[in-house]
Amino acid sequence: MKMIIAIGGWINGHVAYFLDLLGLFILTLRETRHLFNRSRRRIFMVLFKRQLYNTGIKAIYINSLIAFFLGMIVAARVLVYIPQAANYANIYVIVVVRELGPLISGLILISRSATAITAEIGHLKLYDQFDVLHSQRVSAAFIFLLPVFYSFPISLLFMFIYFNFVTMISSWFFLSTFGDSSISMASFMEAILSQITMLEIMITSLKAIIGGSLIGIICIYFGSSVGERFTDISRAISKSTTSLLLMFFVINIGLSILAY
C-alpha cells in the first residue's frame, strides 16, 4: 500500500510539474501580444538584446575553446582508422554536427546561463520583488520570462554554428599537420559542408528552438518556486540543472533517433 501511495504521489508530482510548465508556456504566448505595442516592444528589445549578449555572445570564448580541443581529439581518434583526411567529412557530420555540437553547446548554456537565471529569479522571489512589480502594474512575465524564452533558442543556434566552425578549423589543423598535408582548408570545409543536408539543418534548428525554449521556461519555473528560506535558491538551482540535463539529452537523442 505504501508503495502504491508513493508511486501515485510521484505521478501526481510530475503531472503537476508538466502542467505548470505548460502554464508558463501559455503565459509566454499571452504576454507576446504586448510586443505589438511600440513602447513595450522597445523595452523588450533592450532586455532581449542584453539577454542575447549575456547568453550567446559572452559564451563564445568557452564554447570555442571546448570546440577547438574537441575537434583535435576527434580528428586524432579518426586519423587512426581513416588515414585520408578527405574521408573524414562524413564521420565529422555524424559525430560533431549531429550529436556532440548540440549536446555540448546545450550543456554550456545550462551550466553558464540557465543556472544564473534560476538564481536571479530565486533572489527576486525570496525578497518579494515580484509583489513590488505587481503593485506597480508591471508584468514580471514580460520583463523576465519573455526575453529569456526568445533569446535562449537564438543563442543556442548561434552556439551550434560557431561550435561547428571552430571544430572544423581545429580538425583541419590536426589532420593537415599529422595526416594528409596536401588537403587545403577550403577543400576540407567544402567536403564537410557538402555532407550537411537540409535534414541536418532542420534537425539542428529544432534542437535549438525546442531545447532553448524549454531551458528558458524550466529555469524560470524553478527560480519562481523558491520559498522563504535562502537555502531554497541552491535547491532550485540543483533541481533545475538536473531537470534541464535530462530534458536536453532526451530531446537531442530523441530527435536524432527519429530523423536518422
- d(CA 185, CA 196) in angstroms, rounded, equals 17
pLDDT at 3: 65
pLDDT at 238: 92
- Across the range 141-165, mean pLDDT stands at 91
Lowest mean per-residue pLDDT among 136-145, 154-163, 167-176:
136-145
Enter the C-alpha cell of residue 180.
Answer: 594528409
Query: Would you give the DSSP letter of residue 110?
Result: I
Q: Is 35 exposed, middle or buried (0-12, 13-18, 19+ CB in 10 A)?
A: middle
Express each pLDDT in 201-244 by its tens digit. Answer: 899 999 999 999 999 999 999 998 888 888 889 999 999 999 99
Mean pLDDT rounded to a whole number for the chain = 85
In order, the DSSP letters of 203-256 are: HHHHHHHHHHHHHHHHHHHHHHT--SSTHHHHHHHHHHHHHHHHHHHHHHHHHH
Express each pLDDT in 17-38 by its tens digit. Answer: 888 888 888 988 888 888 888 8
pLDDT at 150: 93
Per-residue pLDDT band for 149 (boundaries 50, 70, 90) equals very high
In order, the DSSP letters of 16-30 are: HHHHHHHHHHHHHHH
Per-residue pLDDT band for 10 (boundaries 50, 70, 90) equals low
Closest CA to 161 of 204, 206, 202: 204
pLDDT at 141: 82
Residue 81 has pLDDT above 80, yes or no: no
- Would you kindly state where each structural domain of the chain is located, as residue ranges? 2-259
Identify which has the larger pLDDT, 156 or 185: 156
Cα angle: 203, vertex 158, 241; to 5 degrees: 80
Lowest mean per-residue pLDDT among 49-63, 127-141, 242-256:
127-141
Helical ranges in the chain per DSSP H: 2-32, 38-52, 60-81, 89-92, 101-109, 115-126, 129-135, 140, 146-178, 185-193, 198-224, 231-259
pLDDT at 138: 72
% of the chain with per-residue pLDDT over 70: 92
Q: How far from 152 is each of 22, 141, 176, CA to CA, in Å?
A: 18, 15, 36
Express each pLDDT in 165-186 by its tens digit. Answer: 999 899 888 888 877 667 778 8
